[in-house]
Every structure is written in structure tokens, then in C-alpha cells.
Amino acid sequence: MLSTPKRWHLQLVMLVSVLTGSTALIFGRLAQQQDIPTFYLVAFRLAFSSLVFAPLVFMRYGEQMRHLSRRALIFGGLGGLWMALHFNAVFVSIEFTSILVGNVLIGTAPLWVALAEAYLLKVSLNKWIWAGLFCTLIGSVVVALSADSGFNLGENPLVGVALALAGALAAALYTLFGRQARGQMAFIPYLWLIYTFGAVFSLLLVIFSGTPLVGYSPAGYTYLALLTLIPQLIGHSTYNYALRHLPATYVSIFGQLGLVLGAVLAFLVFHEIPGALQIPGSAAILIGITLVNLGQGRSPN
């Protein structure tokens, strides 16, 4: 019988997850600066991740995969579709606005999950979640208003804000659909299924948009490989490992540190300086997300 990991081991794993996950938009923008199209970037990330997991899935979980229900496949497909749309919206958003703005708005996904559960699944929300939603909406308005602050926030900050929020909504939807598929299979097969469907939809976007499949620079491919290896395969895997052994609220709140680290990296790598309205707006969003995470699992009142 395997022993439960020590708490400091799990905290170290969580720290690795946060550090690696915070690099996603950094490597994404570096790849874009090497003329890697966003559709291609997302397709490469998901397809490569699917290929990495495929041998393990079919060697260890082959029997389970052969007996997947139609329901699991349908929800897995819907989850993959929304994951693909999420990643595309996220990486297109940072073509128009700063990484700080993109990060904090994308991080609002837990709020939209809570709202979807309330209105679609009829789950009652408590005062913590409503307070978090209010803080986040106020913060989002303040961040949007920062588009007119005169700071260098990107080519078209309002478009970037809209796309980042769209990415957060897509993340909420793939979370909800993914949960339906996740209940019928082990974690690794579930992850592979979502990645595979997401890769298929992303490749269709590449093909129908006429995006070239080859011919990019070595530096571009290097950043694509780093994007897939560090934030996707290492960051995502360690996050879910920690989630198996630590309370979800603890993991979620600790994970908000990644939003701050992403902004610090953006300053160091791209010299992005937050505007006067971005700082309080982003702080309000982070407080809102934390309140929602604290409210998860509490009884409605």
C-alpha cells in the first residue's frame, strides 16, 4: 500500500505547479513573436500532449478505453471542444492586451463555473461566492477602463479583455463537461481523451484557416516545445497530483499565486508595466476568485 505523501512534499509539488504554470502565456507570446500562428500554437500544444499520453493510456488503460460509454465520449468531445476554444481565446487575447490583464481575467473561470452550476444545475450559491462574483465584476470593469489610461496595454486592450473573458467562460464550460466524462474513467485516460478531442478541433481550425503546417523557425518550435513541456505536461500534471492529496480550496487559492508570477515574468521578459487602474482592478479580481474558492463546499446561507 502506498503511503500518503508528506505535506511538505505536496507543498513543493504545488509550488512546482505554480511556477511552471505561470510560464504559459510567456512561452506563448515568445512563440507568437517568432511568427507562430495562434491556431497552430494551440494545435501543437494539445496534439503533442495527446501523443505523450497515448502509449500509457493504451498500455495500461486499454480495456477501459474499449468500453467507454457513448455518454463519456460525447462529454469528452464537448470538453475537448471548449478546451480548444479556451486556449485559442487565451492566446489570441495576449496579441491585443497585456499578459497581466489576460492572466487575471482568464483566472475568473471558477466564478463562471459557480454561476453555471447555479443556473444550469440548480446548485445554491452561498454569500462567499456572491461576494466573490461582485468583487470580480468590479475588478473586471476597472481593468477594462484601464484601456484608456494611456499606458501601453497592447494594440487593442478592449478586444483583449473581451477575448480573455471569453477564454474564461470557455474554461468554465470545458470544466463542466469534463466533469461529466471524468466520472466514468481514470484521470489519465480522461486527460488523454480531452487533449485528443481538443487537438482534433484545433487542427480543424488550422486546416480551415489555411495556416501552414510546417516551415516555422527553429526558435519558434523551441518555444512551442517549452510551452507544451513546462506549463502543460509538468504544470498541469503536478497541479492535479496535488489536487488528489490536498483540499481543493487550498490548491485553488495557492494557484492564484501563478497569476502574480505571470505578471512578474511579463515585466521581466517583455517590460510590461501595469497601469494605475490595472493594479487595483487585478487585486479585486484576485480577491473575488479567492472568495469563490473559500465558498466552495460551504452550505448556502
Q: pLDDT (tens digit, 0 to 9) for every residue of the chain, 301 residues total?
A: 445 667 677 778 878 888 898 899 999 999 999 999 999 999 999 999 999 999 999 899 888 888 888 888 888 899 899 999 999 999 999 888 888 777 777 777 777 777 776 776 666 667 777 787 778 777 777 766 665 554 455 567 778 888 988 998 898 888 778 777 776 777 788 889 989 999 999 999 999 999 999 999 999 999 999 999 999 888 877 876 776 666 655 566 666 677 778 878 888 898 877 766 667 877 787 787 777 666 655 555 5
Q: What is the pLDDT of residue 151?
A: 47
Q: Rounded to an integer, what distance in angstroms lies between the CA atom of residue 210 and that of residue 100?
A: 31
DSSP result, the chain: -PPPPPHHHHHHHHHHHHHHHTTHHHHHHHHHHTT--HHHHHHHHHHHHHHHHHHHHHHHSHHHHHT--HHHHHHHHHHHHHHHHHHHHHHHHTTTS-HHHHHHHHTTHHHHHHHHHHHTS-PPP-HHHHHHHHHHHHHHHHHHHGGGSSS---S-HHHHHHHHHHHHHHHHHHHHHHHHHHTTS-HHHHHHHHHHHHHHHHHHHHHHTT--SS---HHHHHHHHHHIIIIIIIIIHHHHHHHHHS-HHHHHHHHTHHHHHHHHHHHHHH-----TTHHHHHHHHHHHHHHHHHHTTSPP-
Which amino acid is it at 40? Y
Looking at residue 153, its pLDDT comes to 54
pLDDT of the residue at 1? 43
Model pLDDT, residue 111: 73
Exposure string of 70-98, with b = 16+ CB inside 10 Å and e = fewer, is eebeebbbbbbbbbbbbbbbbbbbbbbbb
Q: Helices 7-21 and 237-245, interaxial angle, to 10°?
A: 150
Q: Identify the pLDDT of residue 4.
A: 63
- The predicted structure's pLDDT at residue 150: 46
- The answer, as to whether pTM is greater than 0.85, is no
Give dist(CA 136, CA 285) in Å, integer.
4
Q: What is the pLDDT of residue 247?
A: 60
Domain map (residue ranges) of the chain? 7-295
- For residue 25, give the nearest of 104, 138, 113 by alpha carbon: 104
Give the pLDDT confidence score for residue 240 in this predicted structure: 67
